[in-house]
Amino acid sequence: MGQRERGLIGGMQQDHVIVAAGEDIVSQGERSRNLYSVCCGWAVRYQMLRDGSRQILDVVLPGDPVALASVMLGASMHSVQALTPACFCTLNGRKVVALFQVNAKLALAVLRSRLEEECRTDIRLTMLGRMGAEERVGYFLIETFERLRQRGMTNGTTCRFPLRRVDIADAVGLSRVHLMRALRELRSQALVELNGGDMIVPRAARLAAYTGYTKVATSIGSDVRM
């Protein structure tokens, strides 16, 4: 994507919204015409079930778009909640879609980034359907760690990690108690350690091997992440 397209998107930014930790910026079922982009802070996409349980679909990091489906499809099937105080920049959804209709390169770049997400989602499906507790947790952690590393948000073997235990449990489909058991096991094998709000991965390659994680090519940096 060239300077020109980046400028087009940049020029459409309307506002910055600050959201407190724990608050939703998008709600399941909502018909919003606003498109957001995480500017700083962490968030999660999630769904609630009838019985009150929650599934975290994905961790949303700075640079990731939020509510694209809501804008293009008319309604959002998931909520998005800030985990830390977070700042979102707002774009006019209608205008962005209009821009897509004119600028094929831009639409294509977004399509490509969606397809990359799709790959990650497929693997998460496999993880939930077919892996045991330790593998699931380890996989989720190394995947997030690698995403952070690609964005320069790690410090060698350490990074910020503001998810609570419940959040991790809801992301990997385990109960909070069983998640603790899995974490204990992973720590005892020196694969990952969570402490305060930090994650420590002494040997990323070892954790990757343990969980079956393999790096997937991304277009971060060379591509749009509105």
Residues that bind a copy of itself in the complex, under the rule CB under 8 A: 45, 47, 49-50, 53-55, 57, 68-69, 72-75, 77-78, 97, 100-105, 107-108, 110-112, 114-119, 121-126, 128-131, 170, 172-173, 212, 216-217
Choose among a copy of itself, DNA, none what residue 194 binds, the Cβ cut-off being 5 to 8 Å by kind.
DNA
Backbone angles phi, psi at 216, to 5 degrees: -115, 135
175 belongs to the binding site for DNA (CB under 7 A): yes
Backbone angles phi, psi at 16, to 5 degrees: -120, 130
Choose among DNA, a copy of itself, none what residue 105 binds, the Cβ cut-off being 5 to 8 Å by kind.
a copy of itself
The mark string for 125-154 relative to DNA (x by CB under 7 A, - otherwise) is: -------xx---------------------
- Nearest Cα neighbor of 123 from 110, 105, 142, 107 is 142
Q: Helix (H, G, I), strand (E, B), or coil: what is residue 25? A: strand
**Which CB, 10 or 197, lies closer to DNA?**
197
Q: Closest approach of Cβ 91 to DNA, in Å?
A: 31
Which distant-in-sequence residues (6+ apart) come within 8 Å of 21 by Cβ? 82, 83, 84, 85, 86
Task: Determine the Cα–Cα distance for residues 204 and 146; give it in Å rounded to an integer.
Answer: 9
- Nearest Cα neighbor of 163 from 12, 59, 23, 36 is 59
Using CB under 7 A as the criterion, which residues of the chain lie in contact with DNA when the complex forms?
132-133, 164-166, 173-178, 180, 183-184, 194, 196
